[in-house]
Amino acid sequence: MKSILMISLHGYVGANAELGKPDTGGQVVYVLELAERFSRLGKNVDLVTRQFEDQPEYDHVDENYSVWRIPFGGKKFIRKEDMHDHLKKFVTNCLAAIKKERKKYDVVYTHYWDAGWAGQKIAEELGISHVHTPHSLGWWKRHTMGSDMDEVEMEKTYRFKERIRKEYFVYQMCNFVIATTLPQVDLLTKQYDVLSRNCGMIPPGIDENRFFPVPSKENDKVRSKYDIHPNDILALGRMAHNKGYDLLLQSLPTVLELCPEARLVAAIGGDSDQDKQGIEKLKTLAGELGVMDKIKWKNYIADEDLANVYRSANIFAMPSRYEPFGMVAIEAMACGTPSVVTVHGGLYDLIDFGNQALFADPHRPIEFGAMLSMPLLYPKLRNELSVEGARFARRNFGWTGIAKRILKIFDNSINQQSMESNIYTH
């Protein structure tokens, strides 16, 4: 197996990803890191994405790896929920470009349902195997959000029926589904009828060269640069309903009752109008809760500053309503920052509570607030979580090891496809 066609269609995918832009977060990091590690391991990689706005056709990363943009759906940004209307055109354009460039691939590796649906059609046309990573599952997302949104409004916004129908097709037809968490594997077999032999779990990875602990004296210098205090709690990520930042604000009164010196650093969202509206709603809620003066609002953190911002905080908070995995928490842990994560996600199942991290239900603000307060109240506990959390993150989630495990799945899928082809031709 020498050549990989990776497909990730939504958001701003590029050699230097514009993280924080709409639909451009953890999945884009995941895809770019894997593409780079596949390249380091001697594989040829074309990472295909959508060309829009004024983006170039190619980002040539190195001699083995390029980001290749195929135009479809016009010049404007398209939300991932609205990709349904444009996928057939992408398949046509992509296949035409592959044939024009005379490119040959051994496997198609797709990400999220939009690329998965298109990638299955492309793999069938090229007669090669298709491996898919969902990143999140429509069935789970719809059922988790059900109590928080009007059903008609939810369907209009997220188009779950169309998404789940396409997901079912992809998961049934592709050679293998790589879930990022154990609960995803369970849902794939129970809700999508995937055969257990056709799916498995490999977690996301972290860049071991960026995310690591540093001595506390070094941290003191860094804090002043980013205006982060020793008792600060950090929340960081895209502005999205599922991230549960409103639930985190509701837990702050409990934190402040136990630790009056605490403060929240909210590094949330980007520059889009949608993000700004979301931040304004959070600020209104903070005012109603009487915690506005205990929050430091920051815009999305630049990639080169990310590790230092993680290290500067006392605690990292991940209060998501649902979270397929929670890469940001693993990155924070790798930097030696104790993390309190949601129980509504895959990371929860892997954590040894009180040793590597803490977890709580963000829907119960007193519970979540109490867990956030523990490392502030008990320095010995904080040190334990810092050391063991970093060990756990780095040993289990380095990207090169993750890439090697995925390459084995590619090889198995290619062998299976070859055997099936021989049977049919004879």
237 and 133 inside one domain: no
Q: Which two tokens stand for residue 74?
A: 């016009």
Instruction: Tell whether 224 is covered by a domain.
Output: yes
Sequence-ordered list of residues with C-beta below 8 angstroms from that of 288, at least 6 positions apart, any chain? none
389 and 411 inside one domain: no
pLDDT score for 364: 98
Q: Parallel, antiparallel, or unpaired: how do β-strands 44-51 and 339-342 relate? A: unpaired
81 and 188 inside one domain: yes
Instruction: Tell whether 44 is covered by a domain.
Output: yes
**Per the structure, how many domains does the chain have?**
2
Residue 173 parent element (H or E): helix 160-173
264 and 192 inside one domain: no
Instruction: Tell whether 339 is covered by a domain.
Output: yes
Instruction: Tell whether 10 is covered by a domain.
Output: yes
pLDDT score for 147: 62
| Location of structure tokens 């040959």 | 104
| Pairwise CA distance, residues 334 & 40, whole Å | 22
201 and 266 inside one domain: no
Instruction: Tell whether 210 is covered by a domain.
Output: no
pLDDT, block means (10 residues), the chain with 426 residues: 95 91 91 96 98 97 97 96 95 98 97 98 97 94 76 88 96 96 92 96 88 90 91 93 95 98 94 89 97 93 91 96 86 96 90 96 98 98 97 90 94 87 62
pLDDT score for 69: 98
pLDDT score for 386: 97
pLDDT score for 325: 76
pLDDT score for 396: 85
| Location of structure tokens 């884009």 | 28
Residue type (1 letter), 112: Y
pLDDT score for 322: 85
Provide the 3-class DSSP secondary structure of residue 301: coil
405 and 371 inside one domain: no
301 and 338 inside one domain: yes
Residue pair 202/405 in contact (Cβ under 8 Å)? The answer is yes
Sequence-ordered list of residues with C-beta below 8 angstroms from that of 49, at least 6 positions apart, any chain? 7, 8, 9, 13, 14, 67, 68, 69, 70
Instruction: Tell whether 211 is covered by a domain.
Output: no
| Pairwise CA distance, residues 363 & 206, whole Å | 28
Instruction: Tell whether 374 is covered by a domain.
Output: yes
pTM of the complete model: 0.69
353 and 220 inside one domain: yes
47 and 135 inside one domain: yes
30 and 158 inside one domain: yes
Report the interhelical angle of 182-191 vs 138-145 (nearest 10°).
100
Question: How crowded is residue 111: how many other Cβ atoms within 10 Å of its Cβ?
Answer: 26
195 and 226 inside one domain: no
181 and 324 inside one domain: no
pLDDT score for 105: 98
Instruction: Tell whether 344 is covered by a domain.
Output: yes
User: What CATH number is associated with residue 82?
Assistant: 3.40.50.2000
Sequence-ordered list of residues with C-beta below 8 angstroms from that of 281, at least 6 positions apart, any chain? 246
Q: What domain range includes position 95?
A: 3-205+399-425
